Amino acid sequence: MAEIEIGMGKTGRRAYGLDDVALVPDRRTRDPEDVDLSWEIDAFRFELPIMAAAMDSVVSPASAVALGNLGAVGVLALEGLWTRYEDPEALLGEIAVLGDDASTARLQALYAEPIKPELIRDRIKEIRAAGVVSCAAITPQRLPTFADTLLAAELDLLVVQGTVVSAEHVTREGDPLNLKTFVRRFDIPVIVGGCASYQSARHLMRTGAAGVLVGVGAGATSTTRRVLGVGAAQATAIADARAARLRHLDETGVYVHLIADGGLSTGGDIAKAVACGADAVMLGAPLAAASDAPGGGWHWGINSGHADLPRSERVAVPSVGTLEEILVGPAHRADGRTNLAGGLRRAMATCGTPTLKELQRAELTITPVTS
């Protein structure tokens, strides 16, 4: 991709967000009922290519079970309120009525409570007991501390997630954190990320990860672009990671799944993310807008409680329907924010693609928002 001159001696790539691209219908269409939305990662098969983000406003143990029963997967935040407090329901209610000026300071205080290994075990056990896939997320910095706890808890699927995750983190305070060492220690599929470039995606794939999260600074609550100046246009980031996957597949014979994380709100967004190369998507705000979401009409990320430099803010998310209506319908509004599966299904049918893998080969056109 050609670079554009920013100023004398400094160039940059032109990158595209999902709003900048559109699917091109194929000459052959098919019935929506004939479309298969399922995807597989390792031994696990899911009916919907949707992962609920590891955010306390989106995923509780109970909502993780509900998501699993609907065909999606809920990712529990292992550094969230559910692993710090025995019963955080009252705290979730308190967060919902906080004034804007007080919300960040209160979140910092709440997330200062130590993480309790026994609660990690109990939450994972609760989800597994319901007969759905247990999936949970932890930051790379906390992984060495809680690795043994996670192994003992018999978690099904692990997500190692940060604002930006590298294959090796160098520090003056000890040995570098080599992600490959920990990924290969777990006898379960591990998804790592986020990343937003070809090179970073390739390095994460080399850790042995089963999947890579793609996206930096695109979420509804994220202030990373303002606080750090770091971010990436999602359509280009996914396409770059897809190219990295093809290179990795050619070199190793191993297919690594891509999960688009952030900047998606409608069924059409999901379809375009898959067309760019994603196997599935991770959603936060769209699911926080469920009337039965844990956040009670509010949405925030774990980084909202960072002690030194919060990079997420609490935002209001008016309800658009129940979790079931948002995921599989029926829809009672025409903005694409409910019945996400139905929107994706009809997009695939319009493009004549019976599976997600086929949709990855669909034609895209650059269509600026202003057109």
Phi, psi of 11, rounded to the nearest 5 degrees: -125, 165
The DSSP code sequence of 268-313 is: HHHHHHHHHT-SEEEESHHHHTBTT-TTSSEE--GGGG-SS---B-
The domain spans of the chain are 3-366
* DSSP tag of 48: S
What lies within 8 Å, CB to CB, of 169 at 6+ separation is 140, 141, 176, 177, 179
> What is the torsional sign of CA 212, 218, 224, 226?
positive
* DSSP tag of 164: S
- For residue 142, the number of C-alpha atoms closer than 13 Å in the C-beta half-sphere is 20
b or e along 254-264 (b: 16 or more beta carbons within 10 Å of the residue's beta carbon)? Answer: eebbbbbbbbb
Whole-number pLDDT of residue 236: 96
Verify cis geometry, omega within 30 degrees of 0, for the bond prior to 330.
yes
Count of C-beta atoms within a 10 Å radius of residue 156:
19
Tallying the residues shown for the chain, one arrives at 371
Residue 301 in tokens: 């990320």
User: 77 with 304: CB under 8 angstroms?
Assistant: no
Q: In the chain, which residues have pLDDT < 50? A: 371
Q: Rounded to whole angstroms, how far apart are CA atoms 301 and 154?
A: 26
The DSSP code sequence of 245-271 is: HHHHHHHHS---EEEEESS--SHHHHH
What lies within 8 Å, CB to CB, of 33 at 6+ separation is none
The pTM assigned to this predicted structure is 0.93
350, 360, 336: which is closest to 274 by C-alpha? 360
For residue range 321-362, what is the model confidence (pLDDT) as tens digits? 999 999 999 999 999 999 999 999 999 999 999 999 999 999
Q: Which fold has domain 3-366?
A: TIM Barrel (3.20.20)
Q: Which residues pair with 169 in a beta bridge?
A: 177
26, 270, 41, 249: which is closest to 135 by C-alpha? 41
- Cα radius of gyration (the chain): 20
Whole-number pLDDT of residue 371: 43
Count of C-beta atoms within a 10 Å radius of residue 323:
21
Write the CA distances from 2 to 12, 54, 79, 199, 303, integer angstroms: 9, 36, 41, 17, 35
Write the CA distances from 276 to 20, 40, 73, 89, 133, integer angstroms: 12, 18, 22, 39, 27
For residue range 281-295, what is the model confidence (pLDDT) as tens digits? 999 999 999 999 999
